Structure 1
Amino acid sequence: MMRIAVIGAGAIGGTLATWLAQTHEVIVCARSPLGDLEVEREDGTIRATPLVLTDPSDATPVDWILCTTKTYDCASAAAWLPGLMGPDTRLAVIQNGVEQRERFPMVPADRVVPVIIDLPAERTAPGRLVQRRNGSIHVPDDANGEAFVTLFAGTVIDAQTTPDFVTAAWRKLAINCSGIVSGLTLRPAEVANDEGVAEVMRGLVRECIAVGRMEGADLPDKLADQVVKWTTLAHPQSVNSLHADRLAGRQTEVDARNLVIVRLGEKHGIPTPLNQALAAILIASA
């Protein structure tokens, strides 16, 4: 049994904390007090009652820290680290984008594990989550990655290492960047059935592919069509985090999902007009 701190109690953090609490000691680091956690699934409901902390000064060292906050909340998440970090503590950064390793420079690089997660989940109320399918996790194929994977033994979440993490990260970004169409239309995954919208999604992904290849990712041309197909096969009412943030009036992760493609595209001299334009419209409409 490991002692695990989960920073953030949103859709991803709450769902992971609930599953991990079935076999580990879990501490949830949140802004506000929570009661129990409850994850609703098609095959039933799982519950957990982890310790919930709201004051970083109450934190004590753990074996693992899982940071599941939004990318724009890294500063507030970092406030928990002094109390949670021990001499052997490892930090798993479970966030969108391709810059997970750079977000917490105060932690030694050899103790940071970047994580790519595909877990369709939504928070319907504090501590109340809906998990649409089992989900998957990918981490680098090294000692830290292997240790992280073992945390999920006995859960339904498929955690595994990958020898090409760069490609896995950019492949996930290709999916995420296309999700801006839901953020703008405020329609769930079913919006991809509109052929006009689908073609916009393909354009966004093609820009991501071009930039990702320059960053070392092995991305096939067919990925643009695949992303559209995967979206049409998702639960039609599935809401991505960009869409959910807009509905809730929160700041969005458009920087980590779209503008990172624009920034790195400029670095390599690759034009990314669709990502740049739709990100600008999303920001202006917030």
Structure 2
Amino acid sequence: MNQQLPTISIIGFGALGALFASIIANHIPFENLRIVADVERCKRYTDNGLAVNGKPIKLNYVTPEQSQSLVPADLVIVCTKYYHLEAVMPLIQSQIGDNTLIVSALNGISSEAVLADAFGKDKVVYSVAQQMDARKEGNQLIYRDAGQLVIGAMTNEPTDITNVERVRDIFTQVQLPHSVSADMPKNLWGKLMLNTGVNQTVAFYEGTFDTVQEVGEPREMFKAAMREVMAIANAEGVALGEDDFNQWVTIMDNLDPTAMPSLRQDLKAGRDCEVELFAGTICKLGKKHGIATPVNDTLYEGIYKLMEKNRG
């Protein structure tokens, strides 16, 4: 194994996991990148392969049992859905060593706390995945915008700052698009604000990004849902303002109009979705702070009806 380059393990092989793997695989030895999954999934991934925008790519699929004979990962990137996080804890554990760091690309503002409780807060570096439009259909990964992972320290403690620097260096080595935030709490809440608006509104109207990019009722709902999040962020001590609001709207307006956010992809495929991370979180915090959330109440109810329809 090449000791000069890091060993990276990816947990979760949906659109984001496959996107990150396809980028990293071009800049790292085959054995240094692991897609960690159970035996059944590893066999299926190996048999089916992966094509990225139509081009086949060969990746290293590894089970937890096989990992016992391997060195621990330098970095674990978690890309599952939030409701699968507890189930993949053994996969993550199989990659952990004394110096392993963990980055979560999950939606919402909760996964890092769960990972910190399980593996120690000194192993978790906060991250936000943004500006990507990847979707996975069977063994086909399709994307126009690779986006980036934004990382940052949540405190001024030396360990937090050093760990962010370590992850930044790893991302630089493997040429994974990234940036470092000087205000990670604001970035986390900003991404939650965007996701709460765009993911849910596009799903509610069963559309694509252009559903909220074009002038009309869906765009107004998208923005109104975001404003409810902004009010709650302020109540939680995170100073999101108009400049932040406009910045996140601009990010969404520049995405591929024909693509779909993850929540819409899940519903279209007949799967459950992460509405609890978005409207569920905002409605609950709205009650805590006495802030009305009528738009998120409507989205919450409407998306649950779509999930019930999927269930038959």
Fold in common (TM above 0.5): yes
AA aligned to 2:165 is E
Structure 1 counterpart of 2:201, from 181, 197, 200: 181
Distance 1:185 1:284, change over 3 A: same
Following the alignment from structure 1 to structure 2, what is the Cα–Cα distance between the partners of residues 269 and 59? 49
**Deviation per residue, 1:229-274 (Å, 9 max, x gap):** 5434321101100010001111101111221112222222222121
What residue is the counterpart of 2:78 in the other structure? 67
On the 8 A contact 1:59/1:80 being kept in 2, the answer is no
Which has the larger share of helix? 2
Distance 1:8 1:121, change over 3 A: same
Following the alignment from structure 1 to structure 2, what is the Cα–Cα distance between the partners of residues 263 and 164? 25
AA aligned to 1:124 is E
Alignment of 1:241-280 (within 5 A): 241-280=262-301
Structure 1 counterpart of 2:17, from 13, 24, 41: 13
| TM-score of the superposed pair, with normalisation by structure 2 | 0.83
Following the alignment from structure 1 to structure 2, what is the Cα–Cα distance between the partners of residues 40 and 9? 16
Which has the larger share of strand? 1
Following the alignment from structure 2 to structure 1, what is the Cα–Cα distance between the partners of residues 197 and 238? 18
> C-alpha root-mean-square deviation of aligned residues, in Å?
2.1
- Identify which range, 30-39 or 10-19, moves more after superposition: 30-39
Following the alignment from structure 2 to structure 1, what is the Cα–Cα distance between the partners of residues 171 and 52? 16
Following the alignment from structure 1 to structure 2, what is the Cα–Cα distance between the partners of residues 229 and 197? 16
AA aligned to 1:26 is L
Q: Is 1:191 equivalent to 2:211 in the alignment?
A: yes
| TM-score of the superposed pair, with normalisation by structure 1 | 0.90
- Identify which range, 269-278 or 1-10, moves more after superposition: 269-278
What residue is the counterpart of 1:58 in the other structure? 66
Distance 1:149 1:39, change over 3 A: farther
Following the alignment from structure 2 to structure 1, what is the Cα–Cα distance between the partners of residues 216 and 249? 10
Structure 2 counterpart of 1:122, from 135, 148, 160: 135
What residue is the counterpart of 2:105 in the other structure? 94
Distance 1:197 1:136, change over 3 A: same
Distance 1:171 1:248, change over 3 A: same
Unpaired runs of 5+ in structure 2?
A: 154-160, 308-312
On the 8 A contact 1:135/1:158 being kept in 2, the answer is yes
Structure 2 counterpart of 1:131, from 143, 146, 153: 143
**Deviation per residue, 1:40-92 (Å, 9 max, x gap):** 29xxx5x6422213x43333421111110011110121121332111111111
Structure 1 counterpart of 2:221, from 200, 203, 219: 200
Distance 1:237 1:260, change over 3 A: same
On the 8 A contact 2:11/2:92 being kept in 1, the answer is no
On the 8 A contact 1:5/1:65 being kept in 2, the answer is yes
> Residue 228 of structure 1: CA displacement?
4.5
> Residue 150 of structure 1: CA displacement?
2.1
- Identify which range, 14-23 or 199-208, moves more after superposition: 14-23
What residue is the counterpart of 2:158 in the other structure? none
Structure 2 counterpart of 1:109, from 107, 113, 121: 121
Q: Is 1:39 equivalent to 2:60 in the alignment?
A: no
Unpaired runs of 5+ in structure 1?
A: none
On the 8 A contact 2:18/2:141 being kept in 1, the answer is yes
On the 8 A contact 1:202/1:225 being kept in 2, the answer is no
The residue matched to 2:291 in structure 1 has which SS?
coil
On the 8 A contact 2:145/2:255 being kept in 1, the answer is no
Question: Between the two proteins, what is the percent identity of the paired residues?
Answer: 23
On the 8 A contact 1:18/1:38 being kept in 2, the answer is no
> Residue 214 of structure 1: CA displacement?
2.0
Q: Highest Rg: 1 or 2?
A: 2
- Identify which range, 30-39 or 254-263, moves more after superposition: 30-39
- Identify which range, 16-25 or 173-182, moves more after superposition: 16-25
Following the alignment from structure 1 to structure 2, what is the Cα–Cα distance between the partners of residues 278 and 84? 38
> Residue 159 of structure 1: CA displacement?
0.9
